[in-house]
Structure 1
């Protein structure tokens, strides 16, 4: 089988290798991977931000067909289409420190391979309404957005949700919030992307280059009250604006740090607004299963930016790293 490995030396360190197809143990599934997708975390991994690790198979998100099952497997059968979970050992409830250590794509080998072995308890049936590429986008970005809105944020119909940018988590948050009957405000630096977000159902778009004090624009759009929920993917020094954009008692979900890992904010503003800051950490298998059911019932379709073949993996990483994406970057393995 063909497998891509990373030696934490950047995109130049991505290498396509031939390996033997693995065999599943008693409680494992052998998946013929059909598609995978990238997250910004994967860029950090291959660039060595998480430390050096020889011959790591990157990426956490993908979907595959079960082609062989172990002797004691009971949850799936040959022919099922499933996705591995981001945290293989986090089934339900609050995550333990041990469960959160075992992430796919680092420190465990990921899914950028033609065949992958996964424990049956660490897999979720893919929604039947989605294509392979669409289904491959769910394990990290979609679960993170679902957790932000419905586990941590408890969004209800009529709420106002602000999402930053048009990457994977942000667009999933837009789609899920709209599905739940919430009003969505999207921020972006590009008018064309805002227009596309409006076409997906956003109520308002704010160009933060034209309006750098975008938090004030949110207050104006909400009659001075602020948003019920802000999904912050930027981090950095802009965190104070997210707090200011939220209503008193509102929630700011911290979903990324594309503007910087170190965030600074005015404690006085946070105390006055009584803001809940919730760092997100993807979610459990049960959370993944809940969103998979909702995606099928409501026919929610993930937004795909671009798709590359396995042999052009480096180009897929470069596309995501460019920052000029609208939706998910994926790799097809069929």
Structure 2
């Protein structure tokens, strides 16, 4: 089989395509013919050495992917040959809270999806909704679960409330789609008229141009009759956090989902930002397998399709990284993989 390996932090060209022997699944493992894999922001941080979790030298990159089971170990009971699966971003985090002993991540400390055939532990695997294409199914584990958990923590939302999403990144688009399915009003920020139209096309109720309206928090309050948003899915901080707080309703929740900035930034909250606010601020770091399963059930029930912007072939995986880094995408950047070699 062919597979990519990441020797260590460095330029994108260091990502190497190699030919290796086909792996054999252990007793509790699945051998999966990979059909698609998706790039996330964390994958760029890993390859440039800016990710907070140490990366294993020689790891197969990418946490997100989907494929068809082609062989199973003797003890596998959860899946069978022919099943369509993806896998949890944290393969050993099944349920409950994140604990130090389950901090492995696909594409970072353990092998990920940028390969023709992937080995997965059966405990990490999740069946993907039948209505999704391979590229759409590959988009779920990181951005999809992050958005799902931003919206669904106990006491977070009820139908009719207002959700504010920032920009058109992967998490923001997932959050907008899911919030609409939950019966919420969605306000989004963007700087592009073309993207504003596409946001409205997926059901977003109101769009605020943050270039034309630098104090976009005031516009959010105006659109909500002065009340503010009940939930802010904050994906663009730290620089935007003050305005997110000013745009939030008195008892709102602000879910922080950003990762590392190009350079360290100081998170500053002014007295004016806090004035009159009783908002709850919380963090999410993707989620566990049970939460991925819940997301898949919601997508199937509402026939929601993740938004895929661009697809690249397996030989062009480095171009997919560059496209994600350099081009202004609206939706996921994926690598499609034609695993035609017999298992």
TM normalised by structure 2 equals 0.93
Paired residues of 2:160 and 2:183 also in contact (CA < 8 A): yes
SS in 2 for 1:77: coil
**Residue 98 (structure 2) pairs with residue 98 (structure 1):** no
Matches of 1:107 and 1:89, distance apart in 2: 12
Q: What pairs with 1:245-284 in structure 2 (closer than 5 Å)?
A: 245-257=247-259, 262-266=265-269, 268=271, 269-270=273-274, 272-284=276-288
Of the structure 1 ranges 26-35 and 258-267, higher mean CA displacement relative to structure 2 is found in 258-267
**Residue 236 (structure 2) pairs with residue 231 (structure 1):** no
Q: What residue number does 1:137 align with?
A: 139
Paired residues of 1:235 and 1:262 also in contact (CA < 8 A): no
SS in 2 for 1:121: coil
**Residue 2 (structure 2) pairs with residue 2 (structure 1):** yes
Matches of 1:318 and 1:3, distance apart in 2: 19
Paired residues of 2:55 and 2:108 also in contact (CA < 8 A): no
Q: What residue number does 1:39 align with?
A: 40
Offset of residue 258 of structure 1: 6.9
Q: What pairs with 1:42-191 in structure 2 (closer than 5 Å)?
A: 42-50=43-51, 53-99=56-102, 101-151=103-153, 154-191=156-193
Q: Which runs of 5+ in 1 are unaligned?
A: none
Offset of residue 37 of structure 1: 0.4
SS in 2 for 1:330: strand
Matches of 1:251 and 1:262, distance apart in 2: 23
Of the structure 1 ranges 60-69 and 50-59, higher mean CA displacement relative to structure 2 is found in 50-59
Of the structure 1 ranges 144-153 and 21-30, higher mean CA displacement relative to structure 2 is found in 144-153
Q: What pairs with 1:212-223 in structure 2 (closer than 5 Å)?
A: 212-223=214-225
Matches of 1:126 and 1:258, distance apart in 2: 30
Matches of 1:213 and 1:323, distance apart in 2: 26
Paired residues of 2:63 and 2:106 also in contact (CA < 8 A): yes
Matches of 2:193 and 2:100, distance apart in 1: 42
Q: What residue number does 2:341 align with?
A: none
Q: For 1:261-304, what per-residue CA distance to the aligned partner results, in whole angstroms no more than 9, with x for missing partners?
A: 53523253347411211111111111111110111111001101
Paired residues of 1:230 and 1:252 also in contact (CA < 8 A): yes
**Residue 26 (structure 2) pairs with residue 25 (structure 1):** yes
SS in 2 for 1:55: coil
Q: What residue number does 1:243 align with?
A: 245
Paired residues of 2:156 and 2:231 also in contact (CA < 8 A): no
> CA 1:233–1:302 in 2, change beyond 3 Å: closer, same or farther?
same
Paired residues of 2:228 and 2:250 also in contact (CA < 8 A): yes
Paired residues of 1:252 and 1:275 also in contact (CA < 8 A): yes
Q: What residue number does 1:313 align with?
A: 317
Q: For 1:87-131, what per-residue CA distance to the aligned partner results, in whole angstroms no more than 9, with x for missing partners?
A: 1111111121222x2111112221110111111111100100100
Question: What is the RMSD computed on CA atoms of the aligned residues?
Answer: 1.5
SS in 1 for 2:107: coil
Matches of 1:178 and 1:111, distance apart in 2: 30
Q: For 1:185-239, what per-residue CA distance to the aligned partner results, in whole angstroms no more than 9, with x for missing partners?
A: 1111111111100111000111111111111110110111100011111112221
Offset of residue 153 of structure 1: 6.3
TM normalised by structure 1 equals 0.96
Of the structure 1 ranges 148-157 and 190-199, higher mean CA displacement relative to structure 2 is found in 148-157
Q: What residue number does 1:298 align with?
A: 302
Offset of residue 323 of structure 1: 4.7
Offset of residue 54 of structure 1: 2.6
